[in-house]
Amino acid sequence: MTQPNRVQDAGRINRSRPLTFTFNGRTFQGYEGDTVASALLANGIDIVGRSFKYARPRGIVAAGAEEPNAVLQLGASEAAQIPNVRATQQELYNGLECASTNGWPTVEFDVMAYLGKIGGGMMPPGFYNKTFMSPQSLWPTYEKYIRKAAGLGRASKQKDPDTYDHLNQHCDVLVVGGGAAGLAAALAAGEAGARVILADEQAEFGGALLHSNDWINEKPASNWVAETVARLRTMDNVQLLPYSTVNGYHDHNFLTIHQRQTDHLGETAPQGLTRQRLHRVRAGWVVLATGAHERPLVYANNDVPGCMIASAVSTYIRRYGVVPGNRLVVATTNDYAYQTAIDWANTGRQVVAVVDSRPDPDGELVAAAEKAGIRVIKGSVVYDVQGSKRVKSVSVARLSTTELSLAGSETTLDCDTVATSGGWSPVVHLSCHTGSRPVWDDDVIGFVPGPANQKQLLAGGIQGHYSIAECLAEGFSAGAQAATNAGFDKPTDLTVPKVHEPSVGKAMPLFYVPHKQPMTRAPKQFVDYQNDVTAASIDVATREGFEAIEHVKRYTALGFGTDQGKLGNINGMAITAQAVNKTIPETGTTVFRPNYTPVTFGAIAGRNARELFVPERYTAMHQWHVDNGAKFEDVGEWKRPWYYPKAGESMQDSLNREVLAVRNGVGMLDASTLGKIDIQGKDAREFLGRIYTNAWAKLAVGKCRYGLMCGEDGMVFDDGVTSCLGENHFLMTTTTGGAAHVLEWLELYHQTEWPELEVFFTSVTDHWATMTIGGPDSRKLLAELCDDIDLDKDAFKFMDWRQGTVAGVPARVFRISFTGELSYEINVQANFGMHVWKKLMEHGAKYGITPYGTETMHILRAEKGFIIVGQDTDSTLHPYDLGMGWAVAQQKPFSFVGKRGMSREDPTKANRKQLVGLLTKDPQKVLPEGAQAVADPKQAIPMTMLGHVTSSYYSATLGRSIAMGTIRGGLDRMGETVYYPMLDGSVVEAEICSPVFYDPKGDRQNV
């Protein structure tokens, strides 16, 4: 297979390792060391995609991250599909399969191109907004069609086979960019002894030095690169990260680096390897050595395949051994592009001419080109291109002295490639991420970073300093400075190498190349290739009143897309400035935000995916629940048994069985997830009195008490039972979900308001395994396994706790009940929880012991009218609203948290929503939770809503449905009827009642 554009012997590719790949279904060959872009160009592929809006054929323009067109869909298998891969940055591997992102039905023949051609004039900026946005209801339909016809890549529909991870890193000096300046900076900082990370987005360090013709220390520049990298590799304190793009520069020198660890090896990572890694780096100092991107010129039809950036052409020739055409015209405003002409000529192919906008260019490269016999057309510009799928010829004319129009007659030059250079734009993005606005520099003809907001230094091209000598000197200086700033001694024995490179003459500021036609009449002059933004569309935007650059951006889409306008932004700003009669600095820039290049979702998620996405918290008895078929409910991060279905049971069957077992025999619940806080200190009791609404002063050792916790607004936010373990020692329980919050709440008041109170709080949630046995047989069961506690009903009363031994394990047993039944909560050190649980199951078998889950627990407590904070409360209800005024001790001497809040005007006014019981007229009808109550179901919408259902179940105990809910003034409306309109138009009628549906006197728990 021949590669028509491959040059003999040039480049850094490995010709002994040919690689096969396919593009749009056709098979090609490239070499190890190629990018997909260089391999496509080597094979003479001109068209890599269709443009977004006009569907014009597009070819490769650049050789790096700034590439707007060669954005491909990668992946042979469905699972490994990767959208929007920049062909210029994707290293070739054997078997790589890629396809154009745009182009429907094919990239060579595109339906949209006809729409684009016919409708070109009818597709002004804002076209999609103006045309398709109304009626709004049809937008999804439009969008589907537009996306299919013109959209960017697609994600895989299958599970990603690869793994990704994050690595948290710290360093003294992070050097961004591994070109001349970055390598020098890393070397200097490394020699000083600093911990250094050097990150570069390419496979190889060296940047432009890899394809430079210049000499460092009397040797080719690439030799210096090899020596320097080798030296850095020997340093333990230096970490080299190739394939690594520093994508975000965040607060306090926190930077993210996206490292593509195996993307060059194949479409999925080799077994055991992580495909991509996100480094999260906290750096002492940052050296930005990000270089510069060459700007294309804006001229008519500048998007025809074959139009490229001059430096990219050089890169392809010298680094990859690919000359992307046969006959070259160079259009430039500066000396640098002359090197491209020389490189091209050296391959033996024809340089038609260098067209230089400057009347009197005088740099060394100009002389060298002329000496090599290259025709130089001075004071002139390429203003138009002929050809559709490849450049056929260009139109050249003299530039008037005002530079705003053409002068003199035109010349047509036959060629197939146009390499343009409008100068260089420093890559200021990362500096801008810190909030620093870039500053226009007339000498640089570009924006350079503004004043540093963070511990940041600059070196090389990012400052508009492009000579290798300057880059090296600034790199050494910045690296040494960063290291000394970080507290290291200045490195010794570092001498800036000697560089042989041509001197460079003055460049001309030119962005937009005038046409014979006015801007709006001329053929399309593209500014932003990826978004099809033309000079004329910017002009239209400014005439329609969008004069601020941020508005121009949003109206025209300039700088959107996966390339974020790396090529087009400065030209766009210059054209905007011209259109509104301002200077470029007056016009300013749009804001660059992270990320610099797109990052895969995999890298963002890292290992926080699949079973590691959310932690699962288990109790000490979790394995038993799993082994016994429990269905689980997520409560916070906890996995709690929900119910334990038996074969053939519906969920309601299981719940009925579990509920009746507790009412009639004995059931057991794993209650370990309740928050538990150990409280010690002589002021513990006082503290409880301040933080709970009820009284704690007289609670005796051995007793337990239920308490409500309120915010300063008087609204309930947690509840639980607190036991007096010793005179100065309490055990507080909290809701499962509220445990962490309550502990912080106690600490907040202790640390900020009442530090004088002597009390310590320690979480013991995980320490105690808690199992609740409840039901008439629970005492008998406990007696079988506990012989050192007097279980007599008068010796061990309801709301007492005792210390003893259960199943051989030291335990605290609390006679408290959330079901209304005789009930014991057994706490043992969690290491022994499984043992005790199994013993209880074993001995309980004769009583038909039934494990029950949270759903059954919810029904049992609802039968008793016990609230669940967060379900029956929602931070708008105070204790009186809940009918729990009995739990508020207004006479306490200290104004406890919540007291003042609940006495404000609104919490004390009439007709507040209050929690009540609800009995449906049809006892089999279970109200949906969340249903809204109304007084008059025939009222016109919007109806007056009285409150909503908070809890609703079928109660097997009562043989009917029960519910709790809020009703305005509900506590004074016992016996009244309310109505719940349903989605299907039906209405459920219910009577307001006490929420205590079962055993209202509480006899059962006191037996």
Partner 1 sequence: MLCIFCPHCGEYREEEEFSARGQAHIKRPEDPEACSDEEWGNYMFFRKNPKGLHHELWVHSAGCGKFFNMTRDTVSYEIKETYKIGEQPSVVAAEK
Partner 2 sequence: MSEAAETQSEIFAQMDQVPAAGSDVIAESPLSNFHWKTTGAEAGVTLSEQGLAGHLVLRSAGNSSFEAAVEKVLGMSLPGPLQSVSDDSGRVIRWTSPDEWLLTVSNSDAFSVEQQLRAEASGHYSIVNVSGGQTILMLSGDSAEMVLMKTCHYDTHESSFPVGKVVRTTFAKSGALIRRVGESEWELIIRRSFSDYLALWLQDAAGEYGLQII
Which residues would be at the binding site for partner 1 (CB under 8 A)? 250-254, 280, 282, 435, 453, 712-713, 744, 747-748, 751-753, 755, 895, 899-901, 904-905
Distance CA 687, CA 679 (A): 10
**Partner touching 680 among partner 1, partner 2, none, CB below 5 to 8 Å by kind:** partner 2
- β-partners of residue 726 are 729
Size (the chain), residues: 1007
SS3 readout for 265-314: CCCCCCCCCCCEEEEEEEEEEEEECCCEEECCCECECCCCCCEEEHHHHH
802: left (phi over 0), alpha (psi -120 to 50) or beta: beta
User: Which amino acid appears at position 330 of this protein?
Assistant: V
Q: Please report whether residue 170 would count as binding partner 2 according to CB under 8 A.
A: yes
Distances from the Cα of 882 to the Cα of 256, 885, 904, 964, angstroms = 50, 8, 17, 11
**Smallest distance from the beta carbon of 168 to partner 2, in angstroms?**
4
**Smallest distance from the beta carbon of 748 to partner 1, in angstroms?**
7
H-type helices in 363-492, by residue range?
A: 364-371, 429-433, 468-485
Helix, coil or strand: residue 90? coil
**Smallest distance from the beta carbon of 171 to partner 2, in angstroms?**
9
User: Which amino acid appears at position 576 of this protein?
Assistant: T
- CB 721 within 8 Å of CB 814: yes
**Partner touching 253 among partner 1, partner 2, none, CB below 5 to 8 Å by kind:** partner 1
**Partner touching 726 among partner 2, partner 1, none, CB below 5 to 8 Å by kind:** partner 2
**Smallest distance from the beta carbon of 694 to partner 2, in angstroms?**
22
Distance CA 967, CA 917 (A): 10
**Smallest distance from the beta carbon of 883 to partner 1, in angstroms?**
24
User: Which amino acid appears at position 608 of this protein?
Assistant: N
**Smallest distance from the beta carbon of 687 to partner 2, in angstroms?**
13
- CB 830 within 8 Å of CB 643: no
**Smallest distance from the beta carbon of 249 to partner 1, in angstroms?**
11
Strands of the sheet with 809-814, listed across from one edge: 801-806, 809-814, 823-829, 768-774, 667-670, 850-851
Q: Which is nearer to partner 2, 164 or 546 (CB)?
A: 164
Q: Which is nearer to partner 1, 554 or 767 (CB)?
A: 767
Determine which residue in the list 680, 876, 932, 1006 makes contact with partner 2, applying CB under 8 A.
680
Q: Which is nearer to partner 1, 592 or 761 (CB)?
A: 761
Q: Please report whether residue 268 would count as binding partner 2 according to CB under 8 A.
A: no
Distance CA 728, CA 680 (A): 6
**Smallest distance from the beta carbon of 822 to partner 2, in angstroms?**
24
For the window 800-819, what string marks contact with partner 2 as x by the rule CB under 8 A? ---x---xxxx-x-------
Q: Which is nearer to partner 1, 32 or 683 (CB)?
A: 683
- CB 352 within 8 Å of CB 414: yes
Q: Which stretch binds partner 2 (CB under 8 A): 490-498, 674-682, 777-785, 971-979?
A: 674-682
Q: Count CA atoms within 13 Å of residue 829 on its CB side.
A: 6
Q: Please report whether residue 282 would count as binding partner 2 according to CB under 8 A.
A: yes
Distance CA 876, CA 874 (A): 5
For the window 762-801, what string marks contact with partner 2 as x by the rule CB under 8 A? xxxxxxxx--------------------------------
Determine which residue in the list 11, 497, 667, 833 makes contact with partner 2, applying CB under 8 A.
833
Q: Please report whether residue 682 would count as binding partner 2 according to CB under 8 A.
A: yes
**Smallest distance from the beta carbon of 994 to partner 1, in angstroms?**
32
Q: Which is nearer to partner 2, 7 or 677 (CB)?
A: 677
**Partner touching 167 among partner 1, partner 2, none, CB below 5 to 8 Å by kind:** partner 2
**Partner touching 901 among partner 1, partner 2, none, CB below 5 to 8 Å by kind:** partner 1
Phi, psi of 384 (to 5 degrees): -155, 155
**Listed residue (716, 669, 660) closest to 998, CA to CA:** 660
**Smallest distance from the beta carbon of 893 to partner 1, in angstroms?**
11
For the window 863-902, what string marks contact with partner 2 as x by the rule CB under 8 A? ----------------------------------------
Q: Which stretch binds partner 2 (CB under 8 A): 830-838, 840-848, 918-926, 997-1005?
A: 830-838
Determine which residue in the list 829, 871, 876, 932 makes contact with partner 2, applying CB under 8 A.
829
**Smallest distance from the beta carbon of 806 to partner 2, in angstroms?**
10
Distance CA 187, CA 198 (A): 10
Please give the structure tokens belonging to residue 156: 């895989």
For the window 601-630, what string marks contact with partner 2 as x by the rule CB under 8 A? ------xx--xx-xxxxxxx-xx-------
Q: Which is nearer to partner 2, 372 or 614 (CB)?
A: 614
Q: Which is nearer to partner 2, 408 or 808 (CB)?
A: 808
Cβ atoms within 10 Å, residue 876:
14
Q: Please report whether residue 243 would count as binding partner 2 according to CB under 8 A.
A: no
**Smallest distance from the beta carbon of 826 to partner 2, in angstroms?**
13
Q: Please report whether residue 832 would count as binding partner 2 according to CB under 8 A.
A: yes
**Smallest distance from the beta carbon of 731 to partner 1, in angstroms?**
19
Helix, coil or strand: residue 224? helix
Q: Which is nearer to partner 2, 725 or 888 (CB)?
A: 725
230 Cβ partners below 8 Å, 6+ apart?
A: none
Touching partner 2, residues 185-224 (CB under 8 A)? 195
978 Cβ partners below 8 Å, 6+ apart?
A: 918, 933, 934, 935, 946, 967, 989, 990, 991, 992
**Partner touching 900 among partner 2, partner 1, none, CB below 5 to 8 Å by kind:** partner 1
Determine which residue in the list 251, 712, 727, 906 makes contact with partner 2, applying CB under 8 A.
727
Q: Count CA atoms within 13 Å of residue 422 on its CB side.
A: 24
- CB 205 within 8 Å of CB 198: yes
Determine which residue in the list 471, 828, 884, 946 makes contact with partner 2, applying CB under 8 A.
828
711, burial (CB in 10 Å: exposed 0-12, middle 13-18, buried 19+): middle
Touching partner 2, residues 696-715 (CB under 8 A)? 701
**Partner touching 414 among partner 1, partner 2, none, CB below 5 to 8 Å by kind:** none
**Smallest distance from the beta carbon of 744 to partner 1, in angstroms?**
7
Q: Please report whether residue 678 would count as binding partner 2 according to CB under 8 A.
A: yes
Q: Which residues of 548-635 form beta strands (DSSP E)? A: 631-635
Please give the structure tokens belonging to residue 178: 């591994």
Please give the structure tokens belonging to residue 802: 């005792």
Q: Which is nearer to partner 2, 589 or 765 (CB)?
A: 765
Determine which residue in the list 114, 760, 886, 894 makes contact with partner 2, applying CB under 8 A.
760
Phi, psi of 498 (to 5 degrees): -85, 135
**Partner touching 895 among partner 1, partner 2, none, CB below 5 to 8 Å by kind:** partner 1
889 Cβ partners below 8 Å, 6+ apart?
A: 693, 694, 695, 896
Please give the structure tokens belonging to residue 237: 């304190």
Distance CA 185, CA 175 (A): 7
**Partner touching 453 among partner 1, partner 2, none, CB below 5 to 8 Å by kind:** partner 1
Distance CA 297, CA 385 (A): 12
- CB 308 within 8 Å of CB 422: no
559: left (phi over 0), alpha (psi -120 to 50) or beta: left
Q: Please report whether residue 911 would count as binding partner 2 according to CB under 8 A.
A: no
- Which positions lie near partner 2, rule CB under 8 A? 163, 165-170, 195, 272-274, 280, 282, 607-608, 611-612, 614-620, 622-623, 638, 673, 678, 680-682, 701, 725-729, 758, 760, 762-769, 803, 807-810, 812, 828-835
